[in-house]
Amino acid sequence: MSTYKVLVVDDDKEIRDAIEIYLKNEGITVIKAQDGIEAIEVLNEQTIHLIVLDIMMPRQDGISTAFKIREEKNIPIIMLSAKSEDTDKILGLQVGADDYVTKPFNPLELIARVKSQLRRYVTLGTFEGANKLIDLNGLTIDPIAKEVTVNGDIVKLTPIEYRIVELLMKNAGRVFSIDEIYERVWKEPGINAENTVAVHIRKIREKIEINPKNPRYLKVVWGIGYKIEK
């Protein structure tokens, strides 16, 4: 993975340096920043493939930074926090984070999550089916360009949101349970996945639906899961 650059953003120098050691041992290039403002400066100057982003930081915290990054970039973001409450996790996911690790973290777990997100990022769109344009009543996905459009307008999706839409569109009409979506998209067992998937579904609806409360495309099948209509 020597071609990959990971931006580590944390106000604690010891944590930044420790993560750098772990990732460098895996052949990953590490760039470091001590707050969100520095992180944005780095992103404007360099090509970064993944961001490890602390939530609690001075000047500009991780939530504000993730929100700003998502205005323009779909780089995978792994949030770090000393807190383990679901509210922090959900808030991070709502602003576009792809994964979440609680401090103190196991170095092996962090490495595994970084590698997993990098693999997904560079091989985005590897679900079954040919890379053909799919159009469902104005909702269109281009698996080669990795773009989703609604009536011709490009929709900005995070990598995780894109993969959920791609999964459902390539299997239009099929209902996927929450656990199935989590396992297919995150490539992990769908344990306690309900909140995580629900947050992403809500964000997708806000982006692709004219009326998210009365969705035209992304439908819930109560007690079973979600589908995109044929």
pTM of the predicted model as reported, rounded to 2 decimal places: 0.59
What whole-number distance in Å separates Cα of residue 191 and Cα of residue 171?
A: 23
| 168 or 90, which is more confident | 168
Share the mean pLDDT of the chain: 86
Give residue 146's pLDDT: 81
The tens digit of pLDDT for each residue in 53-81 reads 999 888 898 999 998 898 878 888 999 98
The tens digit of pLDDT for each residue in 129-161 reads 445 678 888 899 887 678 899 988 889 999 999
Average pLDDT over residues 5-22: 95
Crossing angle between the packed helical segments 86-94 and 194-208, to the nearest 10 degrees: 30
Residue type, 173: G
| 119 or 168, which is more confident | 168
User: Is 128 a residue whose pLDDT tops 70?
Assistant: no
What whole-number distance in Å separates Cα of residue 204 and Cα of residue 151?
A: 16
Buried b (16+ CB within 10 A) or exposed e, 1-28: beebbbbbbbbeeebbebbbebbeeeeb
Sheet harboring 134-136: ordered strands across?
Answer: 134-136, 139-142, 147-150, 153-155
What whole-number distance in Å separates Cα of residue 175 and Cα of residue 2?
A: 39
- What domains are defined for the chain? 5-122 (3.40.50.2300), 134-228 (1.10.10.10)
